[in-house]
Amino acid sequence: MYLDRRSNIKRLDGDCKGALKGFKDSLDLKLKSSRGENIDVSDSCNNIGVMYTNLGKYREALGTYKKSLKKRSRIKGENDAGVATLYNNIGGVYYNQDKYDKALLMLKKSLYASWTTFGKNHPSIAATYNNIASVYHNQGKHDDALLKYNISLKIIQEQLGDNHPNAAKLYDNIGGVYDNQGKYDDAVSMYKKSLKIRLATTGNNHPSTTQSYRNIATIYRKQSNYTQAIEFYQKSFDSLCYLYGENHPQVVKDKQILDQCRLLKSKANTSL
């Protein structure tokens, strides 16, 4: 439908308010031309929910997602890809609200629906495992988080290859768990695997690559390995300067941290 296509363009351009209005107008037209019991109406409700989520209006998002879910599950049943997506979206809202038990319940329902639709080794299954792991991570359940992250990583490696950007994201996530556990050597190992993929797929001067440099530098700083910390903060700084210029907030922050590391390194050398 024309309104949906136009609204999707606005969504991709970052105009969430404009997209929201368009999706609402589209829903009104669909409701006028039907009794409301069709997939198109459910899809519109989901689109509206996504826009509310992007705008941080979580109560409204939940309401529209649940309307969409009720309509779609009545038509398609529970074992449907669209139903799985809606459970995932609802879980995402609960996650953003820090309602982790509710988030897990929805994400596990999404996982079961996806299994029936795609089998257990589909990239969408990997994404759901990643989301479940993120909840466990935020709950401080590090072993559970690592288990789910690694299941997700294995699926990505088998289906998309070890050099896929999704694998890089998972190495980052696993590294984050190790960081929180104080297992800094393991964290650096994961972050370097992520960096290797990012350098191969997006190059040196890309925001995701600079994030990998900062992740590694942060661990070295925690270990008081200021020489290595300076090296990787400098790489992040140089790439960000190339991308955004010296006045970008993250560039300014990296410069401050670089100066702090150099000072700490100087003090450490003086005390020897």
- Sign of the dihedral through C-alpha 125, 126, 130, 132: positive
Lowest mean pLDDT among 12-26, 46-60, 229-243: 12-26
User: Is the model's pLDDT at 1 over the cut of 80?
Assistant: no
Query: What is the pTM for the complete model shown?
Result: 0.89
CATH code linked to domain 1-80+89-94:
1.25.40.10
Average confidence (pLDDT) over 72-85: 92
- What does the domain layout of the chain look like in residue ranges? 1-80+89-94, 214-272
The pLDDT value given to residue 3: 79
- Residues 201-259 pLDDT 10s: 999 999 999 999 999 999 999 999 999 999 999 999 999 999 999 999 989 999 999 99
Average confidence (pLDDT) over 178-200: 98
The pLDDT value given to residue 38: 82
Better pLDDT: 138 or 269: 138
Mean pLDDT, rounded, of the chain: 93
